[in-house]
Amino acid sequence: MSTRTVLVVNSGSSSIKYQLVDPDAGTAIASGLVERIGESSGNVKHTYGDQTVKRELPVPDHAVGMRIVLDLFEEVGPSIHTSNVVAVGHRVVQGGSVFDAPALIDDDVVEKIDALSPLAPLHNPAHITGIKVARQLLPDEPQVAVFDTAFFEKLPAEAATYAIDKKVAAAHQVRRYGAHGTSHQYVSQEVARYLDRPVGELNQIVLHLGNGASASAVKGGHAVDTSMGLTPLEGLVMGTRSGDIDPAVVFHLYRNAGMSIDDIDDLLNRRSGIKGLSGENDFRALHDMIAAGDADAALALDVYVHRLKKYVGAYYAILGRLDVLTFTAGVGENDDVVRARVCEGLEPLGIVLDPERNAGRGGPKVISADGSPVTVLVIPTNEELAIARQSLAVVEAR
Ligand code: ADP
């Protein structure tokens, strides 16, 4: 097979997601996931062409999980050994102030990712496990770490800095790192390509609205602000995360509600956001509830949209001039109601939606009216392709 491929691996605390990508065609050749690693029974799913294989079996650890994945490639296809895999690209959530670009993995890079674990205690240790196993099982393929924070590593100091005692912040690496950077970078570049304009000319706001959600302000291809902070908890209202709250809520619950720090962590990360307000975190279900007259669901959507509008306004002010506003990820690409609600009333700011263009799912497409001073777009994100292309670039630059 002469087509070159990149194996993209996203190793989580109890899961491994993977995709074999053709970085030149921009297509996924095969994909799958291993879930519930370490539990009594795990789930495995592998898709190649029109074949999908699903299995339920114990997956005691990541090494076994990765071995199962490689066996499935041999059994169902395509064989990893004849797929011309030129790189294995690993998604890494936290690159701290250390990584502002993807890195070719060696022992030193592994150590540095490990050292950043206090900033991403659930993610970085899981990435390290995945990287170690992949290096063992695929020793001949170069491995690359692609960081979710890299696009925001060079945020202007005034956007990256929390206004807290600078000695405490420095001692504990407390700053705004952002997240979803691979998506914001990819989408902002795709915007330029779609509009056939140099990215360096464009002032953009990108709204990545998935289960996690984040906004970024991008000036000339460089991020100048983003809504996620030390962790992905800050910023927009999300599926299950609160986004911005008064930090004193934590003290209040700790002191007066008998909640431990772990309880509050769980509350704000997993029992808040749209789910906390309505009981559901999927927007399709949320709209059904609203249609059925559920007041909690209606308020959840109002709170979600209100926060988004605040960020659009804030980033507009920071950019000074806005050329493009882009919606991406599961909600951004598919939910025309959310898009319409966010843009409603922003006509005086030059954001004029065309209701017919906005209707329906998918993209890429322009959804602003002809003559709208700000172009509003839907651009599908593709983090796996972005990781594959960045990994390939690192390998080619060796
Ligand atoms: P993740 O953050 O897990 O990568 P995605 O970007 O895939 O998530 O977004 C998943 C979310 O997208 C779902 O939870 C759901 O709320 C939303 N979504 C998916 N399809 C639709 C749709 N047709 N209409 C509205 N929302 C949708």
Tell how far the Cα of 329 is from the centroid of ligand 1, in angstroms: 7
Contact 151, 99 (CB under 8 A): no
Quick: pLDDT tens for 239-253.
999 999 999 999 999
Query: Is the minimum distance from the CB of 360 to ligand 1 under 6 angstroms?
Result: no
Instruction: Provide the β-strand partners of residue 79.
Output: none
The predicted pLDDT at position 206 comes to 99
- Among 211, 228, 280, 341, name the best residue to mutate to test ligand 1's pocket (greatest count of ligand atoms within 8 A of Cβ): 211
Catalytic residues: 148
Query: Is the minimum distance from the CB of 239 to ligand 1 under 6 angstroms?
Result: yes
Question: What's the first-to-final CA gap in the chain, in angstroms?
Answer: 23
Structural domain contains residue 288: yes
Query: Is the minimum distance from the CB of 332 to ligand 1 under 6 angstroms?
Result: no
Contact 87, 397 (CB under 8 A): no
* Rounded Cα gap, residues 90 and 81, in angstroms: 19
Quick: pLDDT tens for 302-330.
999 999 999 999 999 999 999 999 999 99
Between CA 72 and CA 118, with CA 12 as vertex, the angle to 5 degrees is: 155
Of the three residues 147, 170, 186, the one that is the final residue of a domain is 147
Task: Give the predicted TM-score (pTM) of the model.
Answer: 0.96
CA-based torsion, 56, 57, 58, 64: positive or negative: negative
Of the three residues 112, 147, 182, the one that is the final residue of a domain is 147
Q: How many CA atoms lie within 13 A of 136 on its CB side?
A: 11
Instruction: Provide the β-strand partners of residue 328.
Output: 208
Structural domain contains residue 294: yes
Regarding whether 215 and 105 lie in a shared domain, the answer is: no
Low-confidence ranges of the chain (pLDDT < 70): 1
* Rounded Cα gap, residues 345 and 66, in angstroms: 50
Here the tokens at position 121 are 């205690």
Whether the upstream peptide bond of residue 364 has omega within 30° of 0, thus cis, is: yes
Considering its fold, how many domains does the chain have in total?
Answer: 2
Q: What is the residue range of 282's domain?
A: 195-383
Regarding whether 108 and 212 lie in a shared domain, the answer is: no
Regarding whether 366 and 246 lie in a shared domain, the answer is: yes
Query: Is the minimum distance from the CB of 315 to ligand 1 under 6 angstroms?
Result: no
CA-based torsion, 220, 223, 225, 227: positive or negative: positive
Structural domain contains residue 40: yes
Here the tokens at position 290 are 């609203």
- Among 284, 333, 337, name the best residue to mutate to test ligand 1's pocket (greatest count of ligand atoms within 8 A of Cβ): 284
Structural domain contains residue 225: yes
Q: What is the CATH number of the domain that holds 15?
A: 3.30.420.40
Sequential DSSP letters for 319-346? HSS--EEEEEHHHHHH-HHHHHHHHTT-
The predicted pLDDT at position 122 comes to 85
